[in-house]
A and B are shown apart, each in its own frame.
Chain A
């Protein structure tokens, strides 16, 4: 099956979309061109994490993916996480903790944390650090970002203990 050379179709934040593209275009370029500018350019080389988005449930770098690699898949960007009226829990905690300084890394952090929370149910420090190790921040020293994240994760773990009894996926 050869898709049309100059378009790509994928589910973007829950909606099926078709965009004009070229084989050589990176997903980051396409997203920003189409108005999804919360995903940012920091290095274009897959090292800083400012362009983190979620592809089929996994956190990935939009700057390294060719747009065509997203064909038929599910893409979620920061635009799917929270609104002015209802920020997501992690955004609220980041703000409350004073963890947002220049803010450039924050959308990427939110997306990586979202992937973590959707994949794991037990959040040991070591595992959390592995999930977050691809998002660089130069302003905060990560301290308040970590505190905000731990708050959200601790709450989830506590809720999970009293709630469902699902086996921990990939723990350890």
Chain B
């Protein structure tokens, strides 16, 4: 990605105005680590949005609000009751990348290998978008990740925050990222959010990414969990249903069928983790 200009707006509204005017000739720049993967024929003007106060993590009522330009390493380090975002953050790329790569940068344009969309789908997060008016737009994850989100930002709109629900008692989150080594892109990333009641699964949100063309939830797996006991046999059985929802892809020279097998085991493992969390696991 070649840059022809570097603009540093002083406010969010100025940023939006500049982006809107530039259109395809402009691009919001946070960490910039994704630029390496984007090729354009003509150089583009970068609009630096990292100095607009959008880097923070704070609890606001029932949500953790994470500023869009919060680096992944801050998310990796943050702890709090009902917070589980660090689990995936510490497994993304390397230290130097995590220090620069932002949550917003990871979800405004979703690359096939992205891990955060998987987690945010499972957690039923809400994306906050500045559209120029005083009231920001909030988009639920199911809607936000229904298609490539990059399209939402073509007119100059800017993602300002991600709101992640504070996990309640009896709610549990678990994720698994299977990869060849620590820094590698994921072979398959899965995440699960379970709500338990009397040992049974009351609600379930299960999602996958990286091994499929675009991250999405797995409704067949979710259906196979509701009302059942939160035990290994149930998790295994539910995981085996994933093929109905997921178009598993061949990864790194290994077959689609291997990906399916890996994904099913990973799903079961993630569900175990989520159940353990709901039952009091702390780390």
- Residue numbers of A with Cβ under 8 A of B are 1-3, 5, 23-24, 45-47, 49, 52, 55, 58-61, 64-66, 68-69, 71, 112, 130-134, 170, 172
- Pairwise interchain contact A130-B95, C-beta atoms closer than 8 A: yes
Interchain CB contact (< 8 A) of B94 among A2, A49, A55, A69:
A49
Q: How many whole Å from B44's CB to the nearest CB in chain A?
A: 10
Q: List the 7 closest pairs (A to B, CB-CB), nearest first.
A: A134-B94, A58-B99, A68-B6, A170-B77, A134-B96, A23-B3, A23-B6
Chain A nearest Cβ from B51, distance in angstroms:
9
Q: A24-B43, A69-B48 are in contact. Are A46 and B96 (CB under 8 A)?
A: yes
B4 contact from A1, A23, A112, Cβ within 8 A: A23
| Contact B6 A3, beta carbon cutoff 8 Å | yes
> Distance in Å from the Cβ of A73 to the closest Cβ of chain B?
10
Contact of B95 among A65, A133, A170 (CB under 8 A): A133
Note all chain B residues with C-beta closer than 8 A to A71: 8
The distance from the CB of A121 to the nearest CB of chain B, in whole angstroms, is 13
User: What chain A residues lie within 8 Å of B94 (beta carbons)?
Assistant: 47, 49, 133-134
Is B58 interfacial (CB 8 A cutoff)?
Answer: no
On whether A60 and B96 interact (CB within 8 A), knowing A5-B6, A23-B46, the answer reads: yes
14 chain-A/chain-B pairs, Cβ below 8 angstroms: A1-B8, A2-B7, A23-B4, A23-B5, A23-B46, A46-B33, A49-B94, A59-B95, A64-B97, A71-B8, A133-B95, A133-B183, A134-B94, A134-B95
B43 to chain A, nearest CB (A): 7
By secondary structure, the A interface counts as loop
B168 within 8 A of A: no
CA distance A65 to B283 in the complex (A): 33
A23-B43, A133-B95 are known; give 15 further A-B pairs, CB within 8 A: A3-B6, A5-B5, A23-B5, A24-B3, A24-B4, A46-B97, A55-B100, A59-B95, A61-B100, A64-B97, A68-B46, A68-B48, A71-B8, A131-B95, A134-B183
Q: Given that A64-B33, A66-B46 are known contacts, is A59 also in contact with B99, CB under 8 Å in the complex?
A: yes
Residues of A within 8 A of B45 (CB): 23
Residues in B whose Cβ lies below 8 Å from that of A133: 94-95, 182-183
> Contact: A2 with B8, CB < 8 Å?
yes
Q: Which residue from chain B places its CB closest to the CB of A120 in the assembled complex?
A: B77
Q: Given the complex of chains A and B, what is the CA–CA distance between A24 and B29 in angstroms?
A: 13
Residues of A close to B93: CB separation below 8 A: 134
Closest to B45 in A: A23
Q: Are B97 and A1 in contact (CB under 8 A)?
A: no
Q: What's the Cα separation between A134 and B45 when bound, in Å?
A: 29
Smallest Cβ distance from B147 to chain A, in angstroms? 28
A69 surroundings in chain B (CB, below 8 A): 29, 32, 48, 50
* Interface check B266, CB cutoff 8 A: no
Given contacts A58-B73, A59-B99, A69-B32, whether A24 and B8 have CB atoms under 8 Å apart is no
Closest-CB distance, B60 to chain A (whole angstroms): 22
A52 to B97, CA, bound (A): 11
